Chain A
Amino acid sequence: MSNLHTTEHTEQHGGSTKEIWNVTIILSVLTIVELALGFWMMKITSDSTRFGFKGIIVILMLVKAFYIVAYFMHLKHEIKNMIMTIVVPLALFIWFIIAFLYDGNSYKNLRNNYDSFKKSQSEIKVEKKEAAHGESHKTAE
């Protein structure tokens, strides 16, 4: 117990109330910008422009994640060993995301090239069903 006590007192308490409010404002502004981009994106029909918007939204998402982890979860104020032991393993995600999304996309292209039946099936437009409750939706199976 005494050991625990000394540990607690040597910890760095970097976060002040002012910092908390600053981060709150930053997070709110980032969310509002994300939502504004989301509303703006609804009016855009060009696929490449939409893709660009989505890219910006993902970058904003990562900035928000950084602020939550660094300040709310206090990681920025820990010593470097602690930061490294958390952040370095998470770097695996960079590879995960690139590899899996690339693979998904490649699967789509291969299937569209070599399975013309599947491709033609996926191009048939369906009439929009009006909100009938329950059973009618299961016919799709």
Chain B
Amino acid sequence: MATTTVAVNQKMWGGGKSPFNIEYGKVMMWYFLMSDAFTFGAFLISYGTIRFSSNGWPDPNEVFQSFPGLGSGLPLMFVSLMTFILIVSSVTMVLAVHAGHNMDKNGVVKNLILTIVFGAAFLGCQAWEWTHLHHEGAWWGANPFLNADGTASSTNFTNYFFTITGFHGFHVLSGVVINIVMLIMTLTDTFEKRGHYLMIEKAGLYWHFVDLVWVFVFTCFYLI
């Protein structure tokens, strides 16, 4: 009978057993990322809707065709570099999480540093690209590029480009900051004392999500 009374008083799930067999913080990180996926999804679908409702749209190969130090006329090259930087950073993050499972502090530190470096490199690339486009006259509310068929273009193209890549870039920046915090916590043995590196996994989930969003942004803006 005693157990029945406990069950009646307990209106909410009270712990004791994890329903999804993963730690609470990770479940919450997944739910946060799901809400973030809806935010990015809404942005990208809005972009798609406007693009489908326009008679013309600029050709990404004409807009994004410059590479620092090599001049212009090189479509897709710079964004390929950015994509590979982000994929590699995602791999080093997985390796950091993997090292965390094995309680390998040095492995975590090494791979976290690499992830931070690649994340910063990606941000640098994006800063260069934004500066370059701004010099060409592109900004929110200003579009110097013509549509692919040679007709006048609206500012929708630049508005969406800067808003969505900006929002993604801000996520990358937050990810780099989170990873730096994780690195400091690892170096000060916080996770060693705690007995597990679950925090690295949560940071890892966030970082992979940032990479995932880039897969969509890259395809929607640069490829198609």
Contact = CB atoms under 8 A, between A and B. Distances in A.
Interface of A: 3-5, 7-8, 10-13, 15, 17, 20, 24, 27-28, 31, 34-35, 37-39, 42, 54, 57-58, 61, 64-65, 68-69, 72-74, 78-79, 81-82, 85-86, 89-90, 93, 96-97, 100-101, 103-105, 107-108, 111-112, 119, 122-126, 128-129, 131-134, 136-138, 140-141
B216 A42 contact: no
Given A17-B95, A140-B142, 14 more contacts: A3-B16, A20-B94, A39-B75, A57-B224, A65-B215, A74-B201, A100-B46, A101-B45, A101-B52, A103-B49, A111-B53, A119-B55, A125-B150, A126-B146
Query: How big is chain B's contact interface, by range?
Result: 35 or more
A138 B24 CA distance: 52
B34 interface: yes
A interface secondary structure, majority: helix
B21 interface: yes
Most buried by A among B16, B91, B101: B91
28 contacts: A3-B15, A4-B198, A7-B18, A13-B101, A17-B95, A28-B87, A58-B219, A65-B216, A68-B208, A72-B93, A73-B205, A82-B20, A90-B37, A100-B46, A101-B45, A101-B48, A105-B52, A111-B53, A122-B56, A122-B152, A125-B150, A131-B136, A131-B137, A132-B137, A134-B137, A137-B143, A137-B144, A141-B141
